[in-house]
Amino acid sequence: MPEALTLTGQVLIAMPQMNDPRFNQSVIFVCAHTSDGAMGIILNRPLKKPRFAELLRQLEIEPHPPSREIRLCTGGPVDNNRGFVLHSPDWVSDGSLDVDGNHVLTASMDILQAIAEGGGPRQCLLALGYAGWGPGELDQEILHNAWLNAPADDQLLFDADHHSKWQRALAKLRINPAMLSGDAGHA
């Protein structure tokens, strides 16, 4: 796939006719989009349990003051026992993936330890699982009118207002959800 066509660093916005309940009204940050496939984190599916402190105890990480509480979400249906921290670029480790120069993805325990000690990145969320697509699969879904894409911003990525994220993502494109059609147009 030519570099110009990548959606890496963008958000995907599910179209209203999305029938898959795992993705209905989802907003997904695309962490990688290449000819080998795509990977993203759903931003608007919060987890009520476990809380971050509970998760740290399960992982045998002891929080130290000033400990922090970060948001946990369901990142997607793939590998949902694995954690991915999407965060600002002010903290990185050897295993961190620089997504787009403004956002980083880290899946190692050292970031959780840093956060438990009151440090780590300024902005972050912890996702359990991710959304994944095989080669060309996301491109086909976009051609079939399943997703819109828009530029990502830190408010969409990191704020806790999950209930309005889908509408706010559409508003970035100046789209009213009631005016969307499920029919794809072809010239």
| Domain housing 26 | 3-179
Q: Which helix (H) or strand (E) holds 32?
A: strand 27-34
CA 183 to CA 15: how far, in whole Å? 11
Domains: count for the chain: 1
pLDDT value for 69: 81
Is residue 167 included in any domain, yes or no? yes
Cβ-Cβ contacts under 8 Å for 4 (sequence gap 6 or more): none
pLDDT value for 178: 67
Is residue 10 included in any domain, yes or no? yes
The closest alpha carbon to 6, from 40, 29, 38, belongs to: 38
pTM score, whole prediction? 0.91
Beta-carbon count within 10 A of 47 CB: 16
pLDDT in 10s for each residue of the chain, 187 residues: 444 479 999 999 999 999 899 999 999 999 999 999 999 999 999 998 888 888 888 999 988 776 788 999 999 999 998 999 999 999 999 989 999 999 999 999 999 999 998 899 999 999 999 999 999 999 999 999 999 999 999 999 999 999 999 999 999 998 877 676 555 544 4
The closest alpha carbon to 112, from 74, 55, 150, 43, belongs to: 55
Q: Which residue bears the tokens 């998760």?
A: 55
pLDDT value for 5: 77
Q: What is the CATH number of the domain that holds 49?
A: 3.40.1740.10
Q: Look up residue 139 and give its two tokens.
A: 């491109």
Is residue 89 included in any domain, yes or no? yes
pLDDT value for 62: 85
Is residue 184 included in any domain, yes or no? no
